[in-house]
Amino acid sequence: MKQVDIESRRRGILAAIVESYIGTATPVGSRVISQRLRGGLSPATIRNVMVDLEEMGLIMQPHTSAGRVPTDKGYRTYVDSLLEPIRLTKDEESLILKLVDQSGQDLDSIIQGASRAISVITNVAGVALTPRLKKSVFEHIEIIPIDSSRFLAVLVTSSGLVKNAMLDSGEEMAGSELARVAEFLNQELNGMSLGDIKHYLARRLLQERDSFYAFLKKAIDIVSLPNLSRMEDHLYCEGLTCMMANPEFKDMSKARLLLRLLEEKKDLFNLLYEDMESEGIKVHIGRENAIKDIQDCSLITCNYKVNGVSIGAIAAVGPTRMEYGKVMATVRYMSEVLGKVLERLG
């Protein structure tokens, strides 16, 4: 029983150190913890527990006369074992919905709105990856005549994501011909990843030398419309100014490393690609990060889905001294909202 009490005391003091340091960004002393816990523990008792926590690698003393700060291991223990789940307030949820709804119906604007909403709620950088269209799977296409020379092409993926494009061909096109093109594409491309379609049709075109060539060329022109054929992934990042206001980034070398990561994006792309393949929230703390440029930061990611299929990822990037409960709740809620908005868009 005594051992359980000691362990419970250690956990309570560690949680108090982490939460106090998150709030103040200054090393935490025993008197601060005593006042915070209000449980009758003397500063001397708390100092003894702090020594234990330091020996366990959960906290450290940056200077001889200073209080303690959490280590990466301490933050990890806090996130995995001590953090009480929180919910966003109704006002915070409403603000997220407002920021995303203001983005309109354009896919890129919605994703950018999601990154902005994450930053506004958490006061760290919000990051959002557009849906991975190259890996999306073709389900069907509809070609809808508008008048004699204009038509609307609507492409639907197996996840329910919809892309559409308008074309003015400058020449008359019969509705029956458009229907034949759509039927051909639906038969040929069903189940194929969008990233492979243009290469496949181009190879087919090289093999044709008869009257089918003109028909196939027309089909290729339709699936090559810019709004349908753009496959590049894009990463939106909002809130850098807000994040740079944190005292951790007064060290310009740290600030430059983070800015370089967010500008070059390659490593961040790869991390999000990997995380979107697994379910739910992932928390990367400090030196746990394989990306060296953010080993003084924490990164919290979550995939988002359309019709049950993971198609992209969002993240919050900030100092290891971030409000983990608030940030995790924000990223989780944003993932749900984004999935619903994209399903509705489809």
pLDDT tens digits, residue range 197-233? 888 888 888 877 676 888 888 888 888 887 777 777 8
Distances (CA, A) of 330 to 91, 288, 304: 12, 22, 13
* pTM (predicted TM-score): 0.81
- The mean per-residue pLDDT over the stretch 146-163 comes to 83
pLDDT at 1 over 50: no
Residue 295: per-residue pLDDT: 83
Tokens of 29: 């002393």
Confidence of residue 346 (pLDDT cuts 50, 70, 90): low
Tokens of 257: 């490393």
Name all domains of the chain by residue range, CATH numbers in brackets: 2-82 (1.10.10.10), 90-132+233-345 (3.30.450.40), 134-229 (3.30.390.60)
Confidence of residue 3 (pLDDT cuts 50, 70, 90): low
Residue 57: per-residue pLDDT: 96
Mean pLDDT check: name the lowest of 1-5, 20-24, 114-118: 1-5
Residue 184: per-residue pLDDT: 92
pLDDT at 2 over 60: no
Tokens of 153: 């092409």
Residue, of 224 and 128, whose pLDDT is higher: 128
pLDDT at 44 over 50: yes
Chain centre to alpha carbon of residue 175:
42
Selection from 49-58, 139-148, 170-179 with the highest mean pLDDT: 49-58
Tokens of 169: 């061909």
Calculated CA dihedral for residues 330, 335, 337, 341, nearest 10 degrees: 150
Selection from 107-121, 153-167, 244-258 with the highest mean pLDDT: 107-121
Average pLDDT, the chain: 87
- The mean per-residue pLDDT over the stretch 40-47 comes to 86
Selection from 145-149, 225-229, 232-236 with the highest mean pLDDT: 232-236
Q: What DSSP designation does 320 have?
A: S
The answer to whether 326 and 86 have CB atoms below 8 angstroms apart is yes
Mean pLDDT check: name the lowest of 8-22, 107-121, 145-159: 145-159
Residue, of 222 and 19, whose pLDDT is higher: 19
- List, in sequence order, every residue forming a beta bridge with 127; answer none if it has no partner: 237, 315
pLDDT at 66 over 80: no
pLDDT at 252 over 80: yes
The answer to whether 299 and 315 have CB atoms below 8 angstroms apart is yes
- The mean per-residue pLDDT over the stretch 307-329 comes to 93
Confidence of residue 39 (pLDDT cuts 50, 70, 90): low
The answer to whether 90 and 278 have CB atoms below 8 angstroms apart is no
Mean pLDDT check: name the lowest of 87-96, 165-174, 236-245: 165-174
Tokens of 57: 């690698």
In degrees and rounded to multiples of 5, residue 31 shows phi and psi of -65, -40
DSSP string spanning 63-101? STTS-BEE-HHHHHHIIIIIPPP----HHHHHHHHHHHH
Q: What's the CA gap between 342 and 232, in Å, rounded? A: 18
Residue 12: per-residue pLDDT: 92
Selection from 109-113, 201-205, 244-248, 328-332 with the highest mean pLDDT: 328-332
Q: What's the CA gap between 27 and 45, in Å, rounded? A: 18
The answer to whether 97 and 297 have CB atoms below 8 angstroms apart is no
Percent of residues, the chain, with pLDDT higher than 90: 42
